[in-house]
Amino acid sequence: MNYSGNNFDINILSNRQENNLISVADSVINNKSIKITKPNETGFYLMNFEKFDLLFYGVENKKSFRFFDFFELNDVNKIEDDIRRIFSFNKLGVKHLLEIKNFKVENIFEIHKRVYIQQPFDGIELLLLKMLNYYDYLDNEDNASLSLSACKNFANWSCSTRKQEDSSYVDQLNILQVKYRLGSLSADENKLLIEVIESNISRNDEKFAASVLLRNTTLADKYFDLISEDIKEKTIKYPIYTLYKELK
């Protein structure tokens, strides 16, 4: 577990913060159960500091807690623990994730995949959208590159694993918006985007996304206006809308 960084100085912590950090770190590193203020919710313990946060996962043992790095994969691998972590993670906003020092994009993808393989659930594609929004906020090039690579791997896995309606282009469009951020799309990929726009069964929000990825502002404007208001409210929160704004 490594939380080193240029902005961290333990001397800036209050006595309570320092004691809690030392106790939780001791639990994580030395596999010890400790008595500490009850986690924010079942299994969820967020420690707030001046310039960053740390997120831990606590397993209750009588009146004490055994703590783990929230994004640990090997020592915390029961499906019930993964499900609890997914519920807790879903409550965190994208901007909050930027403050969490120990956040690992590839590990949160893996946690979701492990649960989905055993118990498929709706909405797993929303995780990719959340992580692309996270990527778009990053200003550290190394972190951004690692995050986008993890997004690409997850998008490919999702497309090959998830069962969806034959008429849906969602997973393919998600892969292409990841590749768009990595660089230009190939001729075959652009053909697929044209197919989405010309299809009689694709939705207006899918046509909008395809138009954005083709960098066609006129078509993007057209299909955005055709999207129903309830879907439009969701669309403006998605990473494809960030790309749309960049075309303006």
- What is the rounded (10 degree) CA torsion for 34, 39, 41, 44? -80
Q: How far is CA 196 from CA 155, 236, 240, in A?
A: 18, 20, 15
For the segment 52-105, what is each residue's pLDDT rounded down to a tens digit?
A: 788 888 777 666 677 788 998 998 889 999 999 999 999 999 999 999 988 999
Q: Between these two residues, 53 and 173, which has the higher pLDDT value? A: 173
CA distance 228 to 62: 51
CB contact at 8 A, 16 and 23: no
Residue 197: half-sphere exposure toward Cβ, Cα within 13 Å: 21
Is 172 a residue whose pLDDT tops 90? yes
Q: How confident is the model at residue 248 (pLDDT cuts 50, 70, 90)?
A: confident
Is 26 a residue whose pLDDT tops 50? yes
Report pLDDT for 55. Answer: 87
